[in-house]
Structures are given as C-alpha cells and as structure tokens.
Structure 1
Amino acid sequence: MFQKNKTQETTKNGQTLPSAYRPISLLPIFSKLFEKLFLKRLVPIFESQNIIPSHQFGFRPFHSTIHQCLHIVDIISSSLEQKQYCGAAFLDVEQAFDRVWHPGLLYKLKKILPSTYYLILQSYLKDRYSVVCQKDKLSGYIRINASVPQGSVLGPLLYLIYTADIPTHPSTHMATFADDICILTSNPELSLVSHNLQQHLNNLQQWCKKWRIVINQSKSVHITFSLRRGSCPPITFDNIPIPPASCVRYLGLYIDKRVTWNPHTRLKRIDLNRKFGMLRNLLHRRSKLSLVNKLTIYNMILKPTWTYGIELWGSARKSNIDRIQSFQSKTLRTILDAPWFRGFIWVLRRYKLKFGTCCKLDHSTTSQTCKKKQIKDRSDKLYGGNGANSQAVMSAPVDAI
C-alpha cells in the first residue's frame, strides 16, 4: 500500500514545456496518516543529533523564506558598511526531489536511525510504483528507482537528511532553503572573494558528483555586491562558468548589487498591474460586488504581492516606495469609487478603513506613523513579537528565532 501512489502532473508558473511539469504524489489517506505518525517519531531523533545544519531554513518550524532573506541581506549589508566586496553564488538543484539516490539516502539513514526505523524507511523507498493521472486517464504502473515523493509527508524531511552533509567552507557563508543554495563571502580584495567562492564550489562539485546531485547551471548566477565599481573574476562549477548578474531573484525578492530594492519595487509594480488588469471587472467602480468582497479580493490577492518582504525593502528610498504607493492609492480609489483628486488619508478616514487593510507607504510626515506601524507589525511577527534586538536576531538567525 505504501509503495504505490497516484501522480498528478502540474506545471510550474503555467509553462507548457515538458521540463516545467512537476510530479505531485497523491497518497492514500491511510498512507498519509502513517507518515504523519512516523514523522513525529523521526523528528526528535534528528533534532537530538543536530543532523540538519543551521543554514538550512527549508521545511523547518519557525524558519521562513523571510528569515533566510534577512540572514543573507544582513551579511551583504555588513560587507557594504565595511566597504568590502561581497561575492555570492546562487545555485539551483535540478529536479531535486526527483533525483534523490535511494542507496545513498539509505546509507545515510542507516548511520542515524535505529534498525527498526531504518527497515521501515527501507521498505517505504524500495519497490515504489506510481501511476500517472492525466484528466480521467491512468497510465500503467511505473517503477520508481529514485526520488522522494513530492506531496508526501516524509518527502521534505528525507530530502533534508540527504543533503544535510553538504560541504561548507571556513571563508564563506552558506544559506540553503530546501534546494536553493546560496554561498557568500566578503573581502576587500576581489581576487580573494573569487578564490574563496571557487574553493567552496570545487568542494561542492565533488560532493554533488558523489551523491548524484545535478546543479542546473542555466538557473545559477554569480553576483558581486558592492558600492564600488568592479566585479569578481569569473567562477566556474564543474569547469563551466557561472553567468554574472547585476540583480538576482532569491525566494521571491529581487536583490540588486547595491541593495537599493529598485528592481524589486519596479518588477512588483509590473506584477501588480498585471494582476489588477485580470481583476478589473470585479474591482471596477461599476462592479456589482459589495465593498466587503472587493476589499477581500484586494487583501487576498493584491496586498500579499507588495507586502511580502516589506520588512526588508520597506527601508528603500522614497522614489522606490512611491511605485507601490501610487498603485495602492489608485486601486483603492477605484474600489471605493472615491474622487481621483482625494488623498490617501482622506480615503482612509472617509471609509473608516484600518491601517491593517491598507497602509500608506510613502515617507511624508502625515503618513509616517502608518508606514512605521505596518513595518513594525510585520517585523514583530518576524522576530516572534518578543522585542528582541534586530541586530542580534540577524547575526544569529537560527538560534535567536
């Protein structure tokens, strides 16, 4: 029963290329129940032995994408303050879950788990079969010789265990979120930045070859963060150059080489315009939807697009913030059927809206309290609401959060 599952093919970002399809396992109810019960017995064993490294933020409680981005931006900002170069290599593991090597995973599990638990997982991984479901048609059973099931309860934990021994380097910082790998290093000399990165990448390449992990080099980039001119000398992975970039997209945030957040706000404004265009008929002044439903659509679809990561990009310069603020003001005036010449604060007071529903983001004196409240509320949530010093949290994101 546990070795058979139905697989539903889903596309990534709506693409139609064959490589964009992701196999999601649809497990029987009894199998999900078993995995949840078994997971509760496995987690304490791994935690007691500190198997999962501190730089891994994926699939872990009290760790999120924002925490990892905060960790990375803190390292970059510290380098910029010290007038150093910060080189970073962002690597993407190709088909990470689908290429987990079963013998290698079982070898690592055998050294950690009691024999009873090991035999259960050995039976769980061995002789797995899957049937592909496409609309109302089913394929024949296909034997699975590698991978951990995507959509399963145990799959994420097994992947973290499989990659827990990823090599580190004393001169670099490692930041991983599931299969997204980031390697950073800082130094006043560009040549040393490149040298440290290259040494770490060479160790990583040997490790990937040993455990049959493939890095998607077409999605990997190399960037040099600095307030000065100049970029690191080229670096390679498996003798193939990693393409340089001036801006990188990492966990939903666009980070440019000077950390100005200009590309992030610009691209988010484009995304907001696209989404609003799709929802225009529902949010228009002449729409028959009630005001409550319109604001619900705004809060559920549009607002999360720009509030994500505001703890980091909320400190950007006024010209960047105004991109988002102008969209919000225009959208809310459309939803509320307010006159175009009325200001944002007037709209809030006229319709008795709370700052939690919509928030002024610009740096003007009249709305500074509102902006600070929005960022403070989300920052308190990020840090657990304990009032801890932000610098201490950023310096030790794993231990302090």
Structure 2
Amino acid sequence: MENQHGFRKGRSCLSKLLAHYNWFLETLAAGNNVDVVFLDFAKAFDKVDHGILLHKIKALGLRGKLRIWLHDFLTERVQSVVVDGQSSKEDTVMSGVPQGSVLGPLLFLIHMRDIGEEVSDSVLSSFADDTSISRLISNVQEVEHLQEDLNKVYSWATTNNMTFNEEKFEMLRCGPDCNIKTTTTLHTKGGSHITPTPHVKCLGVYLSADGSFSHHITETVRKARGMAGWVMKTFASREPEVMLTLWKALVQPLLDYCSQLWSPHKKADIQRLEAVQRSFTKHIRGLHDLNYWDRLKILGIYSKQRRRERYRAIYIWKVLEKQVPDPTSLALQAHLNERTGRKCSRRTLPSNAPGRCKTLLAASLAHEGPKIFNSLHKNVRNITGCSVNTFKYGLDKILRTVPDKPPVPGYTAKCRTSNTIPDQVALLDRDARTGSSGGPPRL
C-alpha cells in the first residue's frame, strides 16, 4: 500500500508524481536508462469481483458481523435507468464497488492492495486504478525483467477478474543508451507492442522522455490563454471584483495544478506563464495604465512565479510536519538551531551526473524547495505543530514584505533579473544595508 496514493490521507496525484519524478531523475543522474509503462484498466471500479473482494476482506481479519454487513452492503444490489419518468427493468449488479459511497474507495483499495506483491525490482505506483510500472534499465536483461514484472501484473489482473484497455497503454523510454531503446520492446497482455511516445499525460501532467516539463508548460499556457479568452468573450464586466473572481475560479487553477512538481527554471517558461496573468490583469477596469508590479499590489495577488514558490514552501513544511510523504525517501529532514531556527536539509547534486540531469535536479522540489524554505524568516520556519492554514497565514504575512517584481520581456534593464524568494530576500537585506532600491518599469 506504500505506493498507493489514491484515497489516502496526505496522499494525492501530486505525491505520486513527485515520488515518481524524484526516482526518475536520480536514476537518470546515475547514468542509467528508465522505462516507464502506464497501464489502463477497463472500468476498474465497476469490475471489482464481490467474491474476491470479500475473500480479501476476510484475509485482513475482518470477520463476524462486520464482514456479514459488508457482504450485505455489496451483494444483491439492483439498478435501473430512468428516462423522462420511465424506468427500465431492474437488473442485478454483479460486480463493482458502490461509487459515490463512503466505503467505495476503501473497498477498492483493499481490492488493489496486492497488485504489486509479486513485482520484484520494478517500481509499481498507483493512484486508485491509474497504475504505472517503472524500472532502472542498465542492460537488455533489465528490459526482460521489466517484461516479467509486467506479466505478473497481467496475471494478477486475470486472477482478480480485471481487464485492461491495452490499446491505451503508453510508455516512456528515457536515458542515454539509444541501443537499448531501439533494439528492445515491451508487450501488452495480448502480445501487442507497447509503442514509446515522447510525452505521456499522467494524472493531468505531461511527463516527457527528456525529463523536462516544457511540453506540459506549453499545454498549460495554451489552455489558460484559451480559458482567459473565453472569460473575456463571455462576461462583459471588467470590474476588479468580478474579474478577480473569474480569474481565481477558472484560469488560475489551470496554472497552479501540481506546480510544485513542474515549476520551471528557464526564464522563457517563467515569462510565458507570467504573461497569461499580466495580460488578464491589464483588462481590469482602472488598471490598464498601471505597470504590472502595481497591478499586483492593488489586486493583492502574487505573481505566478511567487505563487509557485509559495506552494513549494508549503509542501516542504508539510513534509517536515509529516503531513505528506517525503518524495525523496526521507532525505528531507529538519535541523533546528537556536540562533538560525529550523532549516530543511538539502541534497547535494551528484558530481558525476550529466549536465542536463543536474539542471533538472537543481530545479526540482527536492532541491529548490528546501532552498526556498530556508530563505524564509526563522519565525515562519519555526512554525510547527499546527494546521497548514496557520502556517500559510504566517508565510503570507512575511511574503507581503518581500518585493514581488517579476521580470518582463523588454524591461530586463530596469527589472531585477531574478524574482525568486531567496534572491529577493537577499536583495532586500542588501538594500537595507546600502539604502538602495529598484524602481518599477512601465509594463
């Protein structure tokens, strides 16, 4: 159950993706290839065999009245279809967990809990029924071992009366050894080749074979611009309250989703994402003639870069507070110093890793997150034993004192070249000592 991230406290799509990506980068940094196969179950929740599920419940030690109650909860259900007040004939439900019920997700997890028991050295990870299986590939034999582990998952599906949408299987083949990637293949349960692709959409995020998130950022910007355009066409009002509500409800979530994972390090990507909010706020009544920095202040919102860094700081705090799993397998640890306060340990970048891997590792949550967290005031870092909302309140109180001046194309001469929290905190400290400051450009 450790690699199951669905319907569990502190687990989410984000926790699954972070754990996978951290393992993925560290494997590539060691000079190995990585193969990742994304499986697709057909109607997984509807195909749960009641007899098999009840047997697994019994194996967990649930007996007596509780097991009888669960048996009655699952079996002898009927369903019908109602259209225009006319009802079809009732039919018995032969399988599946009751969706929409409180117990449904728990029963599904019980059914899926042993899917990876026979898998050897491959890494099987799931969010509910969305399952991927990955393996470090150092030679051709490792590909064969991955196929053996896939066969074990196929066998599990047969034993548990589950079926696959084999035509929806996807695979990423990553790493420097092109010979392995071109001379070996993996197969579905039916014997068809699983075709490698450069990008796979997993839980709403595009993962790429080169380890970057450039394709995901391109798609995110496209969708956010499309939604912003729809808002402009659909709603006539340009009043600040209306526009800000629409932004937060419809556009901003597209730019925020799992950003702790894919937050970009390239200046061009940072500016592409920022441009969506910059353009949208320019259409708000009364703000057209103001520069972007002033628009952010008046609206009381963060730049997109600052918002992504804030999310990363919050996630690191949650890791230190044991509210979410550590994506680095316990590498993120708190160190308390009476003078400097609590800080989060940072992994050193592997010296022998390829340059591209080093860049990706340096930009990842595991490395950049602690850097952001450690740059915060110690009063914020020392907040502990409380709800995440309490930490957010303290964090926002401090961030309001840190300049939020994102660079904009064409104004870099007047902008500070970096708007990151660590750099802005350092510049703020320097300005306090020297008495200098940076003026806002017209954006």
TM-score (norm 1): 0.75
- Of the three residues 221, 233, 257, the one matched with 1:269 is 221
Q: 1:272 to 1:157 in 2, by over 3 A?
A: same
* CA displacement 1:22-42 (0-9 Å, x = unmatched): xxxxxxxxxxxxxxxxxxxxx
Q: 1:139 to 1:396 in 2, by over 3 A?
A: farther
Alignment of 1:156-171 (within 5 A): 156-168=105-117, 169-171=119-121
After TM superposition, give the deviation of residue 376 of structure 1 in Å: 3.5
Whole-Å separation in 1 of the counterparts to 2:86 and 2:229: 36
Q: Secondary structure at the match of 1:380?
A: helix
Whole-Å separation in 1 of the counterparts to 2:232 and 2:109: 42
Whole-Å separation in 2 of the counterparts to 1:289 and 1:344: 17
In structure 1, list runs of 5 or more residues that go unmatched: 1-52, 362-370
Give the match for residue 5 of structure 1: none
- Amino acid in the other structure paired with 2:109: L
Whole-Å separation in 1 of the counterparts to 2:7 and 2:108: 10
Alignment of 1:220-299 (within 5 A): 220-226=169-175, 229=178, 231=181, 233-238=184-189, 239-282=191-234, 287-288=236-237, 290-299=239-248
Q: 1:376 to 1:321 in 2, by over 3 A?
A: closer
- Of the three residues 263, 277, 294, the one matched with 1:346 is 294
Does the CA contact (< 8 Å) of 1:86 and 1:193 recur in 2?
no
Give the match for residue 71 of structure 2: 122
Larger radius of gyration: 2
Alignment of 1:69-84 (within 5 A): 69-84=17-32
Whole-Å separation in 2 of the counterparts to 1:166 and 1:227: 31
Give the match for residue 151 of structure 2: 202
Does the CA contact (< 8 Å) of 2:7 and 2:105 recur in 1?
yes
Give the match for residue 320 of structure 1: 269
- Amino acid in the other structure paired with 1:97: F
Q: Secondary structure at the match of 2:216?
A: helix
Does the CA contact (< 8 Å) of 2:120 and 2:149 recur in 1?
no
* CA displacement 1:52-102 (0-9 Å, x = unmatched): x11001011111111111001001110121121111001111100111111
Q: 1:395 to 1:214 in 2, by over 3 A?
A: same
* CA displacement 1:88-121 (0-9 Å, x = unmatched): 0011111001111111111111222122111111
Whole-Å separation in 2 of the counterparts to 1:289 and 1:346: 18
Give the match for residue 406 of structure 2: none
Does the CA contact (< 8 Å) of 2:319 and 2:326 recur in 1?
no
Whole-Å separation in 1 of the counterparts to 2:197 and 2:302: 35
Q: 1:133 to 1:382 in 2, by over 3 A?
A: farther
After TM superposition, give the deviation of residue 288 of structure 1 in Å: 2.9
1:63 equivalenced with 2:11 (yes/no) = yes
Give the match for residue 382 of structure 1: 315
Does the CA contact (< 8 Å) of 1:265 and 1:321 recur in 2?
no
After TM superposition, give the deviation of residue 250 of structure 1 in Å: 0.6
Whole-Å separation in 1 of the counterparts to 2:255 and 2:185: 34
Q: 1:137 to 1:296 in 2, by over 3 A?
A: farther
* CA displacement 1:335-388 (0-9 Å, x = unmatched): 346447x64223224xx233xx34143xxxxxxxxx3xx234212333454647
Q: Secondary structure at the match of 2:43?
A: coil
Give the match for residue 393 of structure 1: 326
- Amino acid in the other structure paired with 1:394: P
Give the match for residue 303 of structure 2: 359
Whole-Å separation in 1 of the counterparts to 2:222 and 2:309: 26
Q: Secondary structure at the match of 2:157?
A: helix
1:110 equivalenced with 2:55 (yes/no) = no
Q: How many residues are aligned here?
A: 326
Q: 1:393 to 1:336 in 2, by over 3 A?
A: farther
TM-score (norm 2): 0.68
Q: 1:97 to 1:386 in 2, by over 3 A?
A: closer
Q: Secondary structure at the match of 2:80?
A: strand
* CA displacement 1:322-347 (0-9 Å, x = unmatched): 2222122111112346447x642232
Give the match for residue 426 of structure 2: none
Q: 1:240 to 1:60 in 2, by over 3 A?
A: same
Does the CA contact (< 8 Å) of 1:171 and 1:185 recur in 2?
yes
- Of the three residues 125, 130, 134, the one matched with 1:180 is 130
Whole-Å separation in 2 of the counterparts to 1:204 and 1:126: 27
Q: Secondary structure at the match of 2:81?
A: strand
Greater per-residue strand proportion: 1
RMSD of aligned C-alpha atoms? 2.5
* CA displacement 1:173-231 (0-9 Å, x = unmatched): 11100000011111333x23422220110111111111111111122111112256452
Q: Secondary structure at the match of 2:223?
A: helix
Whole-Å separation in 1 of the counterparts to 2:123 and 2:218: 29
1:54 equivalenced with 2:2 (yes/no) = yes
User: Which sits farther off after the overlay, 154-163 or 272-281?
Assistant: 272-281
Give the match for residue 251 of structure 2: 302
Whole-Å separation in 2 of the counterparts to 1:386 and 1:223: 29
Whole-Å separation in 2 of the counterparts to 1:76 and 1:252: 18
Does the CA contact (< 8 Å) of 2:46 and 2:97 recur in 1?
yes
- Of the three residues 101, 106, 119, the one matched with 2:49 is 101
Give the match for residue 35 of structure 1: none
After TM superposition, give the deviation of residue 130 of structure 1 in Å: 1.4
Does the CA contact (< 8 Å) of 2:239 and 2:284 recur in 1?
no
Whole-Å separation in 2 of the counterparts to 1:74 and 1:282: 41
Q: 1:95 to 1:331 in 2, by over 3 A?
A: same
Whole-Å separation in 1 of the counterparts to 2:276 and 2:206: 19
